[in-house]
C-alpha cells in the first residue's frame, strides 16, 4: 500500500476576493501535493472557502444581497482563480455544504455529551474583523492589533468550550512531538501562550438574536456556531468524518499549511477540539510568514492587494510559482516586489535554467542533427562526477522541499544548474566540434541531456508547464518520472529526436520600476557609507561574530563582467560547493592571474544581484590607509578549501 500525504490550505474567508497571500499558500500546497505524488505517495489536496459569521453577514448587507448569494459569488471567484492559475486540488470544501454542516453538528454534540460545553455569560471587547473577543492584554491602545480599530464591548450569554481542560495535555503533546508545529519559532510562540497563563474557555456560539448566518447548535436552536469552531472542522468534514474509508486513510497523514496570523486557532483551539471529540491530532501545522509590501502586511484594508490572476497574466504561471516558492524562506516574512519577480525570471529562469536548455538543444541540433547522441564509456566526460553531483543536489533539494523549505531546496538545485552551465563552458563543445572529436562531444551532450531531464522531473511540482515542454523537447514524454531512476543518466534513447522548445522564459525589461530600483540602489549605497562611519570602533558580541561563516575558497575561474570596468565574475570552490561571486577588483587584478589563489569568502551572505548576475558570497580584501586599492587576503596553499575561519 502506498504511503499517504494529505495537505490542506486554510479555507479562505469569503469577505474578500483572493490576493497573493491566498495564492502563495495555495501554490505551496499544490507544489507539495505534486511533489509527494512524484515521490510515489497517494497524495490528497484540500482547499475551499469559509462562509459563515459576522463579516459575511455584514458584507452581504453592504452589497444588497443575501449571505448565501454573496458567499456563492465569492467562493466561485476563489474556485475559478485556482483553476485559472493551474491549481490541481482534489477537493474544494464549502462550509455551507450539507456534508460540512452535518460534521460540525456531530462534533458539537460529541463535545457537549462529554461535558466540555457549558452555558454562561461573558463580556468582552469584540473585533468583527477577527470575529473573536480580545482580552485587554491582547489589545493595543484599546484597538485590535491586526485591524487597528477600536473594539466594541459586548456582553451576552453564550456557550463555552472547556478548552482549559486540555491545556496540560496539549503542552505534553507538543513536548513529545517537537515538530508538531513548525518552524520552531511558532511552536515556541504557542508554548509561550500555553505556559504563561491558564487558557480561557472558548466562546463557541452567537445568539440568533444578533446573528442568524451560521450553523445552528444541535443542542440549542437559538444559537449558531462560532465561525472558528465551524471552519476548522472542514479538515475532517471534507474527507468523510465521522465514517468512511477516506477519513481513516488520509487523516493520519494530514499536513496543515497556514499563515502566521492564525497560529492560535490552529495551534490551540483545533487540537483541543480534536482531543475533546476523540479524534487524533493532526500530524504537523506548517506556518509561513507574510508577504509584505512597503514594509506592511498585504491586506485589502491597506489598499495594497495584488490579484494572483493579474500576476499570472502579466508574467506567466510557472514564473509566478517559482517566485513564490523561491522568494519566501518558509516561516519568515518576504517582501513582494515586481522588481524581484522580474529579476527571478531574468536571472534564475531565463539566464540559468532556460539558457541551459536552449543552448544544449541548439548544440544537439547543430552537431548531431537533433538526435540524442550515444554515450561512449571510452570518453565519459566526467560522467561519474556529474552523477554524484546530481545525486547530492537531488537529495538536498528533496530533503528541504519535503519539509516545506522550498526556497532552500530550489537554491541547492540551482547550484547544480549553474554548474552544468560551467560544465559546458569548461568543455567547450564548439572547439571539440571543430576538432571533430565527436566521441567526447557526444558523451558531453548526452551527459547534459540526461541531467536536464532529471532536473525537469525534479522541478515538475514547481514549473508545471515548462517541465512538460522540456520532456517534449527531449523526446522523453513517456520516460519514467521515478526520482531515483533519473539519477542513472541512462534513460534517454540513442537517436531519439529532440526539438526546439522555444524560449521557455523570455527575458523581461523593466520600465517604470527601473527608476525605483536605481533610487533604491543609491539609497543603499549611501546607507552603506553611513554604516561604515558608524561601525568604526564598535564592539560586537562573540555570538554576533559567530553568525558570519568565513571560509577558505579556491578561485577556479575569473572573467570580466561585460559592460563593467570594476567587476570580475569568479567561480570559487568553497569546500561546500562551487559558486559564483562578483567582486569589484577588476581595476587591480587581471582575470588570468587569479585562478588557483586561495582567498577568504563570506559564505553565508544572502545572494545579491550585481550587474544582472547573482553573487553567492563576498571575498575579503583589505585597503591600506588612504588607498582605494583592495588587496586580496591570500591564504597559504596548505590550507584546504572549506576550512573555516575561527
Among all residues, which ones are annotated catalytic? 19, 22, 127, 130, 144, 147, 297, 300
Measured distance between the N- and C-terminal CA atoms of the chain, rounded to whole angstroms: 51
The grid coordinates listed for 374 are 550515444
C-alpha cell at 425: 563552458
Q: How far is residue 151's CA from residue 132's CA, in Å, rounded to a whole number?
A: 10
Distances, alpha carbon 343 to alpha carbons 346, 477, 508, in Å = 5, 30, 9
Q: Are 221 and 214 in contact (CB under 8 A)?
A: no
Q: What residues contact 31, with CB distance under 8 A and at least 6 apart? A: 321, 325, 401, 406, 461, 462
Buried b (16+ CB within 10 A) or exposed e, 15-51: bbbbbbbbbbbbbbbbbbbbbbbbbebebbbbbbbbb
If you ran DSSP here, which 8-state letter would residue 143 be given? B
Q: Counting Cβ atoms within 10 Å, is residue 565 exposed (0-12), middle (13-18) or buried (19+)? A: exposed
Q: With beta carbons less than 8 A apart as the criterion, state whether 381 and 505 touch.
A: no
- The residue ranges of DSSP E strands in 313-433, in sequence order, are 334-335
Compute CA distances 495 → 365, 372, 373, 382, 386, whole Å.
Answer: 12, 5, 6, 22, 22
Residue 158: which residues within 8 A CB-CB, separation 6 or more? 119, 120, 121, 122, 203, 204, 205, 206, 207, 223
- Cα 29 from Cα 256, distance rounded (Å): 9
Number of CB atoms found within 10 A of residue 60's CB: 21
Closest CA to 317 of 293, 289, 349, 356: 349
Report the alpha-carbon distance of residue 373 to residue 497 in Å, rounded: 10
382: left (phi over 0), alpha (psi -120 to 50) or beta: left
Q: How would DSSP label each residue in 614-637?
A: EE--EE-EEE-TT---EEE-B--T
Contact call for residues 499 and 369 (beta carbons, < 8 A): no
Task: Tell how far CA 180 is from the center of its chain.
Answer: 19
Q: Which three cell numbers stand for residue 282?
A: 493532526
DSSP 556-609: EEEEEPTT-SS-EEEEEE-SS-EEEEEES-TTT--GGG-TT-EEEEETTSPPEE
* Phi, psi (degrees; rounded to nearest 5) at 160: -130, 140
Amino acid at each position: 500500500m502506498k504511503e499517504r500525504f494529505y495537505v490542506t490550505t486554510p479555507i479562505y474567508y469569503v469577505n474578500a476576493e483572493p490576493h497573493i497571500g491566498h495564492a502563495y499558500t495555495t501554490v505551496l500546497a499544490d507544489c507539495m501535493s505534486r511533489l509527494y505524488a512524484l515521490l510515489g505517495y497517494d497524495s490528497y489536496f484540500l482547499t475551499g472557502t469559509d462562509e459563515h459569521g459576522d463579516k459575511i453577514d455584514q458584507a452581504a448587507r453592504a452589497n444588497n444581497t443575501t449571505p448565501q448569494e454573496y458567499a456563492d459569488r465569492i467562493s466561485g471567484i476563489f474556485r475559478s482563480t485556482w483553476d485559472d492559475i493551474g491549481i490541481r486540488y482534489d477537493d474544494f470544501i464549502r462550509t455551507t455544504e450539507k456534508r460540512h454542516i452535518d460534521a460540525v453538528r456531530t462534533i458539537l454534540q460529541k463535545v457537549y455529551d462529554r461535558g466540555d460545553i457549558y452555558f454562561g455569560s461573558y463580556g468582552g471587547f469584540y473585533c468583527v474583523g477577527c470575529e473573536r473577543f480580545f482580552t485587554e492584554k491582547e489589545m493595543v491602545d484599546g484597538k485590535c492589533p491586526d485591524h487597528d480599530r477600536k473594539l466594541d464591548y459586548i456582553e451576552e450569554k453564550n456557550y463555552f468550550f472547556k478548552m482549559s481542560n486540555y491545556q496540560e495535555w496539549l503542552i505534553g503533546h507538543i513536548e513529545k512531538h517537537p515538530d508538531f508545529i513548525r518552524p520552531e519559532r511558532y511552536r515556541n510562540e504557542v508554548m509561550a501562550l500555553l505556559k504563561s497563563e491558564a487558557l480561557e474557555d472558548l466562546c463557541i456560539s452567537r445568539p440568533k438574536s444578533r446573528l442568524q448566518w451560521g450553523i445552528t447548535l444541535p443542542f440549542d436552536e437559538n444559537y449558531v456556531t462560532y465561525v472558528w469552531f465551524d471552519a476548522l472542522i472542514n479538515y475532517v468534514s471534507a474527507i468523510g468524518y465521522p465514517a468512511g474509508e477516506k477519513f481513516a486513510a488520509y487523516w493520519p497523514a494530514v499536513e496543515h499549511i497556514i499563515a502566521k496570523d492564525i497560529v492560535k486557532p490552529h495551534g490551540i483551539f483545533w487540537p483541543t477540539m480534536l482531543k475533546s471529540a476523540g479524534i487524533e491530532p493532526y500530524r504537523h501545522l506548517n506556518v509561513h510568514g507574510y508577504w509584505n509590501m512597503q514594509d506592511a502586511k498585504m491586506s485589502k484594508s491597506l489598499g495594497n492587494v495584488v490579484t494572483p490572476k493579474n500576476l499570472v497574466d502579466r508574467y506567466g504561471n510557472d514564473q509566478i510559482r517559482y517566485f513564490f516558492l523561491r522568494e519566501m524562506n518558509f516561516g519568515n516574512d518576504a517582501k513582494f516586489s515586481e522588481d524581484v519577480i522580474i529579476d527571478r525570471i531574468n536571472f534564475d529562469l531565463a539566464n540559468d535554467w532556460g539558457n541551459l536548455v536552449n543552448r544544449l538543444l541548439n548544440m544537439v541540433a547543430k552537431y548531431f542533427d537533433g538526435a540524442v547522441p550515444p554515450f561512449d564509456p571510452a570518453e565519459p566526460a566526467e560522467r561519474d562526477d556529474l552523477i554524484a553531483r546530481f545525486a547530492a543536489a537531488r537529495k538536498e533539494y528533496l530533503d528541504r522541499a519535503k519539509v516545506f523549505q522550498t526556497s532552500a531546496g530550489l537554491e541547492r538545485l540551482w547550484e547544480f544548474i549553474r554548474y552544468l552551465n560551467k560544465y559546458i563552458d569548461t568543455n567547450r563543445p564548439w572547439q571539440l566540434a571543430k576538432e571533430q572529436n565527436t566521441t567526447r562531444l557526444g558523451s558531453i551532450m548526452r551527459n547534459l541531456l540526461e541531467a536536464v531531464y532529471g532536473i525537469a522531473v525534479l522541478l515538475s511540482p514547481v514549473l508545471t508547464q515548462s517541465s512538460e515542454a522540456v520532456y517534449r523537447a527531449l523526446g522523453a514524454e513517456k520516460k519514467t518520472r521515478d526520482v531515483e531512476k533519473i539519477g542513472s543518466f541512462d534513460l534517454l534513447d540513442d537517436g531519439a529526436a529532440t526539438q526546439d522548445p522555444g524560449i521557455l522564459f523570455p527575458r523581461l525589461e523593466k520600465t517604470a520600476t527601473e527608476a525605483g530600483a536605481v533610487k533604491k540602489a543609491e539609497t543603499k549605497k549611501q546607507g552603506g557609507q553611513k554604516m561604515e562611519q558608524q561601525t568604526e570602533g564598535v564592539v560586537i558580541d562573540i555570538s554576533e561574530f559567530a553568525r558570519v561563516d568565513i571560509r577558505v575558497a579556491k578561485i577556479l575561474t575569473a572573467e570580466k563582467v561585460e559592460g563593467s570596468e570594476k567587476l570580475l565574475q569568479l567561480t570559487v570552490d568553497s569546500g561546500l560547493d562551487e559558486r559564483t561571486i562578483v567582486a569589484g577588483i577588476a581595476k587591480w587584478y587581471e582575470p588570468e592571474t587569479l585562478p588557483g589563489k586561495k582567498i577568504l569568502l563570506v559564505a553565508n551572505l544572502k545572494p545579491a544581484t550585481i550587474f544582472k548576475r547573482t553573487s553567492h558570497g563576498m571575498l575579503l580584501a583589505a585597503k591600506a590607509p588612504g588607498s582605494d586599492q583592495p588587496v586580496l587576503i591570500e591564504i597559504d596553499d596548505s590550507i584546504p578549501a572549506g576550512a573555516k575561519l575561527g
